[in-house]
Amino acid sequence: KASGQVVAIEIDKNLYDKLKIKFAKSSNVEIQYGDFMASLLPKQPYKVFSNIPFNITAQIIKKLTESENPPEDTYLFVQNESADKFCGVSKETQASLLLKPWFDLSIVHRFKKNDFSPIPNVDIVLLRIEKRNEPLVASSNAKLYRDFVVYSFNQWKPTLKEALKSIFSDTQFTRLSNDLRFSSKAKPTELSFNQWLGLFNFFIKGT
């Protein structure tokens, strides 16, 4: 009732048939039978609201956020642990850092288990992924930023300094840690998103 147009994609044939009947008289509702992961995303502005299969949370978020036309706003029912990972709650993760220059992520609601039937054995939250009006990393540097983060997280070194020793000299890294206010012995997960942006901005000035 609140939306101009709703396109619902349902992979379960039984549920699809029931939805077709339930919304037969709703002219602004279109029910599609199929797999969302194989579906084309709209070319016009759109929003997403869904209680998704938890076992493919990462794949769904990747499809939405890495598309040529990401949704303006997304609300997903997800497990609490997944939401923490993508939001970077308590500590940043590779997943959160790869999203934050382009999206603002937050947990906007925490459900009670008895909100659902049957009652789940996991904690469920509503994750919001809102596209930023102005990206924090220029589109021309998007691939370089992603490569920088992935490289930093996958060197399997005890500290970020060790992981980036081929990129920053000891003097540069010490200065960066002082300027950005993080320990020179910090691990990748111990820096905030803004500190990561500071590292990357220094990096691109030298490339």
Contact yes or no for 200/148 (Cβ under 8 A): yes
Alpha-carbon distance of 197 to 145, in angstroms, equals 9
pLDDT tens-digit profile, the chain (207 residues): 888 999 999 999 999 999 999 999 999 999 999 999 999 999 999 999 999 999 999 999 999 999 999 999 999 999 999 999 999 999 999 999 999 999 999 999 999 999 999 999 999 999 999 999 999 999 999 999 999 999 999 998 999 999 999 999 999 999 999 999 999 999 999 999 999 999 999 999 875
- The structure's pTM equals 0.93
